[in-house]
Amino acid sequence: MGPLSPTRTMRLWGPRSLGVALGVFMTIGFALQLWGGPFQRRLPGLQLRQPWVPSRGPAVPSCPPRQRLVFLKTHKSGSSSVLSLLHRYGDRHGLRFALPARYQFGYPRLFQASRVKGYHPEGGGTQPPFDILCHHMRFNLKEVLQVMPSDSFFFSIVRDPAALARSAFSYYKSTSSAFRKAPSLAAFLANPRAFYRPGARGDHYARNLLWFDFGLPFPPEMRTKRGNPHPPRDLNPPKLHVLPSGAGPRVHTLDPNAVFHPAPTAADGHSQTSSPITLDLGSSSFIQWSLAWLDSVFDLVLVAEYFDESLVLLADALCWRLDDVVGFMHNAQAGSAQGTSAGSDGGLMAEKKHLTSRARAWNNLDWALYVHFNHSLWARIKQYGQSRLESAVAELRARREALAKHCLVGGEALDPKYITDQRFRPFQFGSGKVLGYVLQSGLSLHDQKECELLATPELQYKDKLDAKQFPPTVTLPLKTSRLFSP
């Protein structure tokens, strides 16, 4: 791989070293919170580029596109839609994917370079380098850097743990022993330790799934089999109002103050964002160290609740055209976008808020990740320019809507019962139906090909890339009749 770039040197401080490092840093006390030197957030990724210029044709950035990418595909966070973009971009530009033998890199085990198909370290640099690593894994930086260059663009996506818990409970109910034993998500969150056992099969899906996917170690009290006999207490968490993302036009003006409304604290007399991350942990420095380490590794973390805004920032950071991040949603469950409206029964609203609060408290490490990266997203939005972002988001949504009307029957995702073409039928798993797409008839050959790429689910597209990179070898039979004839 050659020498590591200075900006990536911090990456060698893997999360497995956090436990040892924590003991040292705790003796230094609050010096950790200064985050100077190598722990400081890297700023090069925040540099602004020329604004998008709305046009009838594709917008062409004035900088070279970045094409060495590492995407940590987190679970139930909209990551399949991002994966679809990467599949199409890499396929179109002839980039080489680091592919798993099947569909995941040995998950839930930590990523190992040996699981990459076609990875031969003994080749001595003669093999073509990989350009994109993007399929499900549990992040393991040391092993990732065996496969990908240290100057690759690292990014991921997070989701509000309350929304993630609803999706995970439906999708992984048959996989997680904790979810399988619980009659409902409400019953599980009312007394999670009645169902959850750390280390039980599939139970990583039931608590702090994002933290697990990022490959971070857990505080000692969470690593014990018995754990804390009592669920985390909700110690007056801040009033955090997260606006819904939605695929339609936004009626609210983008404003970071509309996302976070922290309650004033008595300590300083002004608003200060806190979160349930310290609930019964006694290890806030451990969490802050982990978040600082992630900041040193990842160039950008998208936020599912602001998916389109995140895509615009991603295109800018990668110096891609806006069209490169226009695509359809994938692996969405039927009813997943439905919520309780403001005019609904007040009791249902109160129950939903109660479940949201409990889900965030139970998944306190994930909540820490979400709050942290939601703030960092808005910091990027501020530097990018809010009015500029709104214009780009509007253009992205207009292009997506035009593609959907042109390519898709009904202009939207459909129940899988209507999808007879197996090339476009998504893998069905969990208790909810996973939606997919049916293409319009009568498309031109060019449009047919483009629409097919947009509608292809992740598993089928992975198989397509696999066949392209590793074409089956055909051995022709020898014509031996003449050799043995007199």
Confidence of residue 125 (pLDDT cuts 50, 70, 90): low
Say what the alpha-carbon torsion angle 451, 453, 459, 463 is, to the nearest 10 degrees: 140
Q: Which residues pair with 397 in a beta bridge?
A: none
CA distances from 39 to 4, 19, 31, 33 (A): 17, 16, 12, 10
Measured over the CA atoms of residue 246, residue 393, residue 447 and residue 71, the dihedral's sign is negative
Mean pLDDT of 297-320: 98
- Rounded Cα–Cα distance for residues 332 and 415 (Å): 11
Task: State the distance between the two ends of the chain, measured CA to CA, in whole angstroms.
Answer: 58
pLDDT reading at 221 higher than 60: yes
Mean pLDDT of 87-99: 97
Q: DSSP alpha helices (H): ranges in 148-225?
A: 161-171, 177-181, 185-190, 209-213, 220-223
Sheet holding 69-72, edge to edge: 97-98, 132-133, 69-72, 153-158, 300-303
Say what the alpha-carbon torsion angle 264, 269, 274, 280 is, to the nearest 10 degrees: -100
Tell me what pLDDT residue 282 has: 41
Digit-coded pLDDT (tens) for 179-189? 999 999 999 99
Tell me what pLDDT residue 463 has: 95
Among 178-192, 248-262, 383-397, where is mean pLDDT lowest?
248-262
Q: Which residues pair with 98 in a beta bridge?
A: 133
- Percent of the chain past pLDDT 70, that is, above it, reads 68
CA distances from 210 to 195, 262, 370 (A): 20, 23, 9
Digit-coded pLDDT (tens) for 12-38? 555 555 554 544 444 334 333 333 333
Confidence of residue 397 (pLDDT cuts 50, 70, 90): very high
Tell me what pLDDT residue 477 has: 62
Mean pLDDT of 242-271: 32
pLDDT reading at 147 higher than 70: yes
Tell me what pLDDT residue 382 has: 96
Digit-coded pLDDT (tens) for 399-453? 999 999 999 999 999 998 999 999 999 888 766 788 999 999 999 999 999 999 9
pLDDT reading at 136 higher than 60: yes
Confidence of residue 388 (pLDDT cuts 50, 70, 90): very high
Digit-coded pLDDT (tens) for 349-387? 888 899 999 999 999 999 999 999 999 999 999 999 999
- Rounded Cα–Cα distance for residues 250 and 289 (Å): 36
Q: Which residues pair with 155 in a beta bridge?
A: 71, 300
Tell me what pLDDT residue 120 has: 86
Among 224-233, 281-290, 421-430, where is mean pLDDT lowest?
224-233
Is residue 64 packed enough to be buried (19+ CB in 10 Å), middle (13-18) or exposed (0-12)? Answer: exposed
CA distances from 472 to 93, 126, 422, 468, 475 (A): 22, 21, 22, 9, 10
Confidence of residue 248 (pLDDT cuts 50, 70, 90): very low
Digit-coded pLDDT (tens) for 65-77? 999 999 999 999 9
- DSSP line for 297-316: H-SEEEEGGGHHHHHHHHHH
Digit-coded pLDDT (tens) for 449-483? 999 999 999 999 999 999 999 998 766 665 544 43
pLDDT reading at 177 higher than 80: yes
Task: Please count the other Cβ atoms lying within 10 Å of the Cβ belonging to residue 243.
Answer: 14
- Rounded Cα–Cα distance for residues 238 and 62 (Å): 42
pLDDT reading at 265 higher than 60: no
∠ CA 6-15-202, rounded to 5°: 140
- Rounded Cα–Cα distance for residues 422 and 216 (Å): 37
Tell me what pLDDT residue 222 has: 72
Mean per-residue pLDDT of the chain: 78
Q: What is the Cα 392 distance to its own chain's centre? A: 22
Closest listed residue to residue 409, CA positions, set 444, 383, 434, 437: 437
Tell me what pLDDT residue 433 has: 87
pLDDT reading at 41 higher than 50: no
Q: Are 154 and 298 in contact (CB under 8 A)?
A: yes
Mean pLDDT of 84-107: 96
24 or 275: which leads in pLDDT: 24
Task: Please count the other Cβ atoms lying within 10 Å of the Cβ belonging to residue 391.
Answer: 16
Confidence of residue 176 (pLDDT cuts 50, 70, 90): very high
- Percent of the chain past pLDDT 90, that is, above it, reads 60
